[in-house]
Structure 1
Amino acid sequence: MTSGLRVLAVIVSLVLAGCQSGPGPLAAGASASLPAACSWPRRSEASVQTWVRAGIAELEARGFDIRNADLALGVVSAERRTRQPGRGAVDRPWYDGISFWGGSHRRAASGFGLGFGVGGGFDDPVQIERVSLVVGDQTIKLTRDSSVIDAGGYVLDARAYNRDAFCRQVSGAIESRLLNMPEAS
């Protein structure tokens, strides 16, 4: 009986270890595999605060809402929400279902009614992109993740969304903004 418990304990520990063996797509270790364009050297002599201000201006120009910014630490986090029309409608085209109702009345007057209704509505899922910009002493890092959430709060998709082209465009735009920004004193 004791050997049976040991075997069971080993199986349970292997199953639990398997569940925890790899980081999820949005885990802290996911940023280790950033495309080269998402981490670039800080070539300008501008202060950290000026870099952060330029980053904030560029992210806002791209439709991101700034959630947090710390000028002293050189950190910015931003978020952008985009409706995804039709995504998710394949699985649940009627969302809450169809209802039929009807009845008859026989009191003082007579009559009959019949109705048809669709409950819930057709709210589109929303893609939520989150961006973090970190201005270090020698390098700047830009990370982005994406989640698609339906109207009921169900996560349809979640992943790291670091794209080489996006990082190249944002880094170039931030550096060009630095040329036009006065240095903060």
Structure 2
Amino acid sequence: MPSLRSSLIVMGAVVLGGCQSLSSQDPLAEAGATSVPAECRWARSDNVSRERWMRATVAELEAQGYAITNTETELGVISAEQYTRRPGLGAVDRPWFGVGSLWGGFGRRSGVAIGYGVHFNDDPVEVERLSVVIDEEAVTVTRDTRVIDDGYVVDARSANRADFCRDLSAAIESRLLVEGPLQ
């Protein structure tokens, strides 16, 4: 009959081995994270200039709340980003009220410290970055998001979603139609 000590050692090894096998994976390494869905690449009209496509794309991105960070007309590249506060994501690690003790080891300088760990405007922030490349034949959209909490990236992933690209494509094409004939 195995002893209690050997049973605990075996049980500990099983528990630790289980934790190791459940380790999280890098979200950017997920299958297909680097691929662009077909809806995120569409053909552009031959009768519309690259500059006109870029103007319509910039106008639409700004209308959706993106800040344009860079444009390069010769290459047909537009970069934009959008910041969104995510209240509550950091609440688990941040107590609203804290009590600390200074007892022990300090001799006569012992006491109790009470502090209010209230945090204002330091919610995690989701940063969404988007790039649009307009070449001679097509328009390609790539998108990713990062959640930053207290200066650290706590989540990062590709955000190439077919529905987003489909809606963006329709909105840009609509702007091109409203502008009228070639300009």
The two structures have a TM-score, normalised by structure 1, of: 0.69
Q: In the alignment, which residue of structure 1 is the partner of 2:28? A: 25
TM-superposed deviation, 1:30: 4.8
Aligned length: 145
Q: 1:118 aligns with which of 116, 119, 124?
A: 116
Q: In the alignment, which residue of structure 1 is the partner of 2:165? A: 167
Partner amino acid, structure 2, of 1:161:
A
Q: Gapped runs of 5+ residues in structure 2?
A: 1-25, 102-111
Partner amino acid, structure 2, of 1:132:
S
Distance 1:44 1:85 in 2: 45
TM-superposed deviation, 1:141: 0.1
Q: In the alignment, which residue of structure 2 is the partner of 1:86? A: 88
Deviations 1:66-120 (A, max 9, x none): 0001122211000000000101222x0228x83559xxxxxxxxxxxx9732236
Q: Stretches of 4+ moved more than 6 A in 1?
A: none
Distance 1:99 1:52 in 2: 56
Distance 1:24 1:68 in 2: 27
Q: In the alignment, which residue of structure 2 is the partner of 1:127? A: 126
Q: In the alignment, which residue of structure 2 is the partner of 1:155? A: 153
Q: Gapped runs of 5+ residues in structure 1?
A: 1-22, 102-113
| Cα contact 1:133–1:143 (8 A) shared by 2 | yes
Distance 1:37 1:148 in 2: 25
TM-superposed deviation, 1:154: 1.3
TM-superposed deviation, 1:45: 1.5
Distance 1:44 1:130 in 2: 28
Q: CA RMSD in A?
A: 2.7
Q: In the alignment, which residue of structure 2 is the partner of 1:77? A: 79
| Cα contact 1:94–1:121 (8 A) shared by 2 | no
Q: In the alignment, which residue of structure 1 is the partner of 2:109? A: none
The two structures have a TM-score, normalised by structure 2, of: 0.70
Deviations 1:32-59 (A, max 9, x none): x111110011135211011011100010
Q: 1:44 to 1:58 in 2, by over 3 A?
A: farther
| Cα contact 2:66–2:81 (8 A) shared by 1 | yes
| Cα contact 2:94–2:117 (8 A) shared by 1 | no
Q: 1:54 aligns with which of 56, 59, 62?
A: 56
| Cα contact 2:33–2:157 (8 A) shared by 1 | no
Distance 2:76 2:176 in 1: 15
